[in-house]
Structure 1
Amino acid sequence: MDAFYASVEQMDFPELRGKALAVGGGERGVVAAASYEARKFGVRSAMPSKLAKEKCPQLIFVKPRFARYKEISQQIRKIFYDYTDLVEPLSLDEAYLDVTENKKNIDSANDLAREIRKRIFDEVGLTASAGISINKFLAKVASDINKPNGQKTIHPTKIAEFLDSLPIEKFYGIGRVTTNKMHTLHIFNGANLKQKTLEELTHLFGKSGAYYYNVVRGIHNGEVKANRIQKSVAVERTFSEDLNDDKQINDWLQTLSSDLEERLSRRNILGKSLTLKIKYKDFSQYTRSKTQEDFYQISADFYKTAIQLWQSRPYDKAIRLLGLSLSNLNTEEKKQVSVQLKIPFEEY
Structure 2
Amino acid sequence: MATYLVCGGAGYIGSHMCKHLHEAGHHVVVCDDLSTGHAGALLWGAHAYGSIEDLEFLRSLFSQYQFDGVLHFAALSVVAESMREPQRYYRNNVAATLNLLRVMREFEVNKFVFSSTAAVFGEPQARMISEDHPTVPLNPYGLSKLMVEQVLRDSCRAYGLRAVALRYFNAAGADPYGRIGEAHDPETHLIPKLVRKALGEDLSVSINGTDYPTEDGTCIRDYVHVDDLAQAHVLALDHLDHAVGMHSFNLGNGTGHSVKQVVDAVREVTGERLDIPVAGRRAGDPSHLVASSKFARSVLGWEPRYTRIGDVIETAVRWHGSETCAAWLETLDGAEVAVQSHLGDDNKPQQYRQG
Q: TM-score, normalised by structure 1?
A: 0.28
TM-score by length of 2: 0.28
Q: Larger relative CO (CA 8 A, sep 6+): 1 or 2?
A: 2
